[in-house]
Structure formats: structure tokens, C-alpha cells
Amino acid sequence: MKTITDQDIDKVKALRKMKRNALALLGVAVLLFIIAIYFKIPMLQAFSEAAMVGGIADWFAVVALFRHPMGVPIWHTAIIPTKKNEIGENLGNFVSEEFLNREKLEVKLDEFNFASKASDWLSQDENSNKIADAIALNIIPGVLKTIKDEDIKRFIQVQFKEKLEAINFGDWVALALEPLQKGNVKDQLLTNLLEVMSAELSENKDLIRKKVKQSTPFLSFGLADKSISEGVFNGLQEFLDEAKNPESAVRIKIDEYISDFLNKVKNSEEMRIKINNLIVGFAGKKEVQDYINGIWDEIKLSITNDLEKGEESSIRKNIASLIQNFGNGLKEDSIMVDKINNFIKNDLLSVLLNNKKVIGDLISSTVKSWDGKEVSEKLELEIGKDLQYIRINGTLVGGLIGLIIYGVEWTYHYFVM
């Protein structure tokens, strides 16, 4: 069903007004003809007769374009609705042959300088804000509503897994631990670690006693709890104290274990594979997957909340600023201007020219798909007002021609006969 706009209503009113004017002028010619007959005025009769003939003939010609005059299916009338397919085909051929012509288009593109005009337009606040509004208020929310959350989450998970598997964590770990094998870095780091462990042990002595009590047999009635917990605490403390000494057997054993581990990480492919599998396996845990899924939810919520701020939206402001900066930057970059213009002139133009038959066929098939009556009504609405001037001119010009003919005839009879 066609939607009637305010502009269409105005056009209908203007068309009806012009039709009334043309009809009124024809009515005047009829009235003059009656007066001329009644009062026997030959000159007025000649004028009015020719004016009526001209007005009626042009009315017929104008109406015949859009419909059958007075509903009578006269031959070669209602040209637009009955010849719609031929018009569409001719229009398609005309556009493809006359408009999509390399020489003509190249001249117009050189004169137009698309890149410079685009940079001027984009650099204006009003225009950059319009584009930003369209993107922030229509395109982004539309995209968020169209895409499925499950698809995005699945995509993120797949990409995360693929990127994770592509990383050789064994090499990274080996590279990170390599400095520990040089100088006294390893010894200093180990000593610091042992100091921290010793301090934590002292601060958690009560916790150790509580854990020991929970683990001792119920029948001991707690008699052995204190001695056992003291033994555990003292044993751990002595071990840590001895380990702090770089010359102790315990420290030497720890150093050997660490050195052996570092060598395996650095030189053993099997150890690197184990490290990779450990990290990738950790990433596959449900907690990690839930966190990854939550990333998209957070991103979507943040975007939605920001866009709801309207003109204060950070996304909208950044888009507008980006567009305006691009326009300003393009003004000062003559090389880029030439590249854009050359792209349009050569590459884009080639695409159009190579597909001009397709474009012509598209125009032709589109016109053929239209309803003939609707096309006729639409065209009459667009150009019918101007065509009424043909009727008005036909009436006036016809009358003048009638006077000229009358004058020639009178001169002939007066001077020759």
C-alpha cells in the first residue's frame, strides 16, 4: 500500500490547480466563440475557434500520456502504462550507454574532485555528528540486536583457544627463567622466598596447632596435641633455617633441583609440552570458560549503557571526533587525496563500466516490475503540473494562429480579389 506524504499532498493540490487554470482558459475560449457567433465578430470567431482546437488537442495529447482520454481506449493512448516495459528497457539502455561512458565520467570525476569535497564535508561538526548519530543510534544498536550472544561467545572461546594453543608457553617460561641461572639472582630470590615462608610459618603457629589437633586420634584426649604440633612447627622451622644457609646440604639439594628443572625447561621438549598442556588445560576449566563468556556480556552492557547517554555518549563523541579528524587530515594529505580520486576514477569506474549492462538490465527489470497504473499516476504527479502549461500554451498559441490565418485570408480577399 502506497504511503501518502505531505509533499505528495502538496503536489496533488498544485496539479489540480493547474488543471483548473487550463480548463478555465479553454472555457474562456468557448465563451468568446459564443460571443463572436452571437455578435458576428469574424476576428474574435477566428481566434476563439483556433484557441478551442489548440486547447482540446493539447489536452488530448497530455492525457494520452497517462490514460485513455475520457476512458475511451483510443489507439496510441495511455502510452506510459501500456508501454512501461519498452520505456524501462530503453531507459536502461540509455543510462548504460550514455551515462556509463568512460570519457564522460572521467571528465566529470576530474571536475568533481570527490576526495576534497568529502574532506570538507566530513571536517564540519554538523556533518561528523550526523554520521556519528547514525552509527551510534542506529547501526550499533541494530548490530547488537541482530547478532546472537551464543555465536559471539562461541567465537571468543574458539579464538581464545586457538591463540592459546598457538603460543609456546614452554619457550616463554624458559626465556623468563634463564636469568635465574646467571649470577646470584637465583640464590637471592630463593633466600627471599625462604624468608617469607619462615615469617608466614611463625605467624600461623596457632593454625598449625589447630590442624594437628583435628588430625590426632580422639582417644589421646589432646594430650599429644601440643607436643606433636611443636614438633611439626620446630621441624619445619629448622628446615627453613637450614635452607637459608647457602652452604647447607638442604640448600644444595634445593639448588640442584631448581637447576635441573631449569635445564629441563630450557632443553627438554617433553617438559615444554607438559607446561603448554598444563596452561591450556587450565584455560579449559569451567571457571575460565565462564569468565570468557562473561567478557562479551560486559562489553555489550558497557556499549548499551554508554549509547543510552545520547549526546554525552563516549562512543558517539569518539566516532564524531574520528570522522572529523579524518576529514581534517585528508585536507592536508595531498597524496591521499590523489589516491582516493584515482581509486574512484580507475578502480571504481572500471567496476561500473564492466557492469554497465548489468546496471542497465537492473533498471529495465525494476521498471518492468512496477505497476503500470501506479507508474502513470506517480509520473503525472511529478511532471503533470508542468504539462498543463502545454494546454495553456496550446490554447493561446492556437488563438494567435487563428488570428494570423484570419489576417492572411482577409488581406487576400481585400487586396487581391
Distance CA 267, CA 319 (A): 50
Task: Enumerate the H helices of 77-168 as residue ranges.
Answer: 79-82, 84-94, 102-112, 114-122, 125-134, 140-146, 149-166
Q: Is-contact 111 345, C-beta < 8 A?
A: no
More confidently predicted of 249 and 34: 34
Q: Is the pLDDT assigned to residue 367 strictly greater than 90?
A: no
Q: Is-contact 160 283, C-beta < 8 A?
A: yes
Residue with grid cell 480579389, as numbered in its chain: 417
**How many Cα atoms are found within 13 Å in the side-chain-facing hemisphere of 377?**
9
- Percentage helix, strand, coil, to 5, in the chain? 90, 0, 10
Distance CA 323, CA 318 (A): 9
Task: Enumerate the H helices of 269-308 as residue ranges.
Answer: 269-283, 286-307
**What integer pLDDT is reported at residue 2 of this predicted model?**
52
**What integer pLDDT is reported at residue 219 of this predicted model?**
43
The contacts of residue 249 (CB under 8 Å, 6+ apart) are: 242
Q: Is the pLDDT assigned to residue 409 strictly greater than 80?
A: yes
- Comparing 157-161, 202-206, 313-317, 392-396, which segment has the lowest mean pLDDT? 202-206
Q: What is the dihedral of CA 264, 270, 276, 279, to 10 degrees?
A: -70
Q: Is-contact 53 41, C-beta < 8 A?
A: no
What is the average pLDDT across 394-406? 94
**What integer pLDDT is reported at residue 215 of this predicted model?**
60
The pTM score is 0.47
State residue 78 phi and psi, 5-degree precision.
Answer: 55, 50
Looking at this protein, which amino acid is placed at residue 278? L
- Comparing 273-287, 289-303, 383-397, which segment has the lowest mean pLDDT? 273-287
State residue 365 phi and psi, 5-degree precision.
Answer: -65, -35
**How many Cα atoms are found within 13 Å in the side-chain-facing hemisphere of 253?**
7
**What integer pLDDT is reported at residue 13 of this predicted model?**
92
- Buried/exposed 286-297: b ≥16 CB within 10 Å, e otherwise: eeeeeebbeebe
More confidently predicted of 142 and 58: 58
Distance CA 39, CA 199 (A): 133
Distance CA 174, CA 265 (A): 6
**What integer pLDDT is reported at residue 182 of this predicted model?**
60
Looking at this protein, which amino acid is placed at residue 344? I
The contacts of residue 190 (CB under 8 Å, 6+ apart) are: 251, 254, 255, 258
Q: How far is CA 193 from the centre of its chain?
A: 56
Per residue in 192-236, pLDDT (tens digit) is 777 777 777 777 777 766 766 666 555 444 555 566 666 766 777
- In a 3-state reduction of DSSP, which class is residue 1? coil
The CA–CA distances, whole Å, from 101 to 60, 71, 104, 245 equal 38, 43, 6, 90
